[in-house]
A and B are shown apart, each in its own frame.
Chain A
């Protein structure tokens, strides 16, 4: 059997390779650079790597080939496994921007008094002498940077993958480092390790579903490639039952990653237990990457079979919004509340996903579902990274103080930080003049245009529920006084270094600008065009 060297279009995929390269270089740095210099080297490596990849994404986007009738731009590269098209590059851009935010939060050292927020010695059992020693010696590890870069690379590969195997590999590449990162919190080690274990167990389980689904779809279509699967679906060859079960199982794997009900159970525990910097990075990045993969899989591979998956998404979207919103009401911990709110946002995003229509059904210049989902992801990413960055600032003697009672009256003591947090919450609630409103408008519109009015009605009701739990936090911060005797110790805002401040500032500025002049980003999302088939 002849072995032919695969052709790799380096000119198209090099931003991806930069990220993976930096991740590998980070491992080498861990091995060879003296401990004293590692922090600086790793931080710079990660930040420069992300920035170079971001510039690369823009450069690649500038000279994409226009295909066919001009609705899609890009090419399918690397022997049909990676599609570098408009949407992919939009996803890459988003992921790299939020990856940069994540890297900046990872590098924050002022909040913990000169060390990072990650465990000094992750292998030490909580509560043992070894852990105490690691803590008193001020040990600090820097493997988190290569781990983050690997996760980022996996996230970038996920929405670009154009066959089921690449999709699965990307899923694992993005997940495994995140499982580890979740367990690395410096404080509350047990909670963090529990989070990592839960995430890993459930994640591995869902990967199993995904792989089984991939096998069944392969059995139906005889190919792993999305375009071949699409052909098979269109020609309706083979066993329809196998296809349906396959779609369902693939959906389980993806819906787990985005945290849709009934696969959302990991979200609150992991969001709460993971170091908050990781939570911020993961909340934005995983959601973007997984929605990218879901859009490509459903629109490209199963696009001709819309009627068999749209009803399923209807039900899941409604359930996700409802359960996420209702359970968020009873939370008393900021990180858990944000976790359930992220579940509700998954539901809103699914509302956009199920709003897909044929190009012929759309009026000239009408918002497409892809455009709507892309825009929503941008707005949500900025708000969620910013909100979690603010959570890292509110601390008491025991580290971050995420319980609601600690936040009482924060608006009096630190009006600026509380005001910015309130602004992020208002954006998530979808109040006009914030980015979240435009995003919400866009996804509701495409769903309604596609005739999914029951979902839109449910979404409007769930928005009302969502407003309640966001506004209640604002009430807590601004209108209620803190009484030390009844509510215990008071949390205060620790002054962060420029890294965290910059992340929060950019998040708030983007949320405001996208709320007032969303036009440019909406146009950019429209210009991304359709997926290359």
Chain B
């Protein structure tokens, strides 16, 4: 059983599903393609769970597969999972079926088969990204994710989506090409050191000169800052989430953007530890700006989807802050944050999508009093919102507090600024809730219905996860902690011992 290349199966399965979905014979209006696609996404989920079941906490890189791919370039087809990869893989395989269920009728006026097929293709490439342990392979699938994303944005969504898709792709490919420069640089450095190789394990042995390391780091970091996104490379985010369907936004913001922060941990810290520490002041500053700026701009939005997109800018600031604080709390906190943000924001996007489908508009100023007509919808929206603002008892709180601890540990002002992000989050979430859900019912809403069973099926698992991991985050921490510890060891940082006031000395005064 263990001879099965589990990770290859994991990413090939949705790709096969995408092809089958696209070419399955279909009568107009037939639900067959959607059912086939859902089946494949559930199978992928099963494979993901099987992988998690075999995972040995603290066992380093596991389920590795290594084959030579392009010998001339020193490129290998190499896969493997560690704690970081495993959590993101699980999040991805869990979110995709839910998105497909939630968007069941979303693309019926266009081409439902195409929507499902592109979504599965996106899942496939994203899973390959999280499992890649060869930099070239990572780069290839990193860029390949953009094609399905481009078609998902450009073909499904609201008017102006073509422009949004172009903007999205230009930003991402621009970042990607900067990354290409660094990837090529790695080859040159590796060839100079003897024999060219792109394996992560080989590259970590390289002895880079300081300036080369900094340049290569800059290339990687810029690409990931576009992806994540970080201020000032974030401007594609709000446009994209506004125009795309909520389902697409979930795939983009909750899954695809995680590649940015995943890459910072895996590649920036893993390959260029000294340069990462050298760049910390700049990155932390940008992260803090993102936290505050994202939240402030979110408060001012009148479009729900834009608002949710911008809250993510703030959250990605937190994740980056945790990563670059270089402490075990920060590392674990940011890994947890990636998963929790994925779950919480997915819930927000999907429920906002239900709401927009009912109202026919996404403008906050035209929505009011939903609570009385659709109490379940409003209630779930509130739970997801409270999770976003970090209410204790919901999962995001745990990760947020870990990141804040590390921020204060880094420097008191970093922590102080980051905390304002939480206050602002309370404003944008609660004010959004107040404006849209409370108050008298708007005229024309008399026929509004509450969530139906399909819609509930898609969001209830997310709610359960929010509550469960809010009270009991240990399973995730058990998986992420060994990875963070080995990473920090590689970087050469150890947590400072807490300074406890010495009572004996105090007594002498």
Contact = CB atoms under 8 A, between A and B. Distances in A.
Contact of A519 (B71, B165, B177): B71
Interface in A249-301: none
B187 A431 contact: no
A365 B161 contact: no
Interface stretch (B41-49, B167-175, B378-386, B429-437): B167-175
Interface stretch (B143-151, B278-286, B308-316, B501-509): B143-151
A456 B184 contact: yes
Nearest to A363: B191
A488 B173 CA distance: 33
Interface in B60-84: 69-74
Contacts of A420: none
Contacts of A363: 191-192, 194-196
Interface string B186-199: 01100110111000
B162 interface: yes
Contacts of B155: 478-479
A433 B173 contact: no
Interface stretch (A7-15, A189-197, A225-233, A462-470): A462-470
Nearest to B215: A453
B185 interface: yes
Interface string A339-371: 000000000000000000000001111110001
Interface string A463-485: 11001100110110011100000
Contacts of B143: 431-432, 437
A228 B191 CA distance: 34
B180 interface: yes
Contacts of A44: none
A371 B70 CA distance: 14
A445 interface: yes
Interface residues of B, number: 40
A505 interface: no
Given A363-B194, A444-B180, A445-B187, A479 B161 contact: yes
B178 interface: yes
Q: Among A364, A464, A522, find the residue whose CB has the most chain B CB atoms closer than 10 A.
A: A464
A522 B72 contact: yes
A528 to B, nearest CB: 13
Contact of B178 (A365, A460, A471): A460
B405 interface: no
A445 B74 contact: no
A448 B188 contact: yes
B140 interface: yes
A517 B70 CA distance: 7
A448 B71 contact: no
Nearest to B171: A464
A515 to B, nearest CB: 9
A445 B170 CA distance: 23
Contact of B181 (A366, A457, A468, A519): A457
A449 interface: yes
Given A456-B184, A478-B154, A426 B147 contact: yes
A441 B140 CA distance: 11
A475 B187 contact: no
B410 interface: no
A285 B240 CA distance: 42
B170 to A, nearest CB: 6
A523 interface: yes
A460 B147 contact: no
A518 interface: yes
A149 interface: no
B200 interface: no
Contacts of A526: 72
Interface string B215-246: 00000000000000000000000000000000
A445 B174 contact: no
Given A433-B144, A445-B184, A479-B154, A463 B177 contact: yes
B69 A472 contact: no
Given A456-B184, A475-B166, A367 B72 contact: yes
B141 A432 contact: yes
A478 to B, nearest CB: 6
Contacts of A519: 69-72
8 contacts: A363-B196, A441-B183, A445-B184, A445-B187, A468-B170, A471-B166, A480-B162, A517-B69
Interface of B: 69-74, 139-144, 146-147, 150-151, 154-155, 161-162, 165-166, 169-170, 173-174, 177-178, 180-181, 183-185, 187-188, 191-192, 194-196
Given A367-B72, A431-B144, A432-B143, 16 more contacts: A363-B191, A364-B194, A365-B71, A365-B72, A432-B140, A432-B144, A441-B184, A444-B181, A445-B188, A449-B187, A471-B166, A475-B162, A478-B154, A478-B155, A519-B72, A523-B72
10 smallest CB-CB distances across A and B, nearest first, come from A479-B162, A432-B140, A363-B191, A479-B154, A522-B72, A432-B143, A366-B191, A464-B174, A449-B188, A467-B173
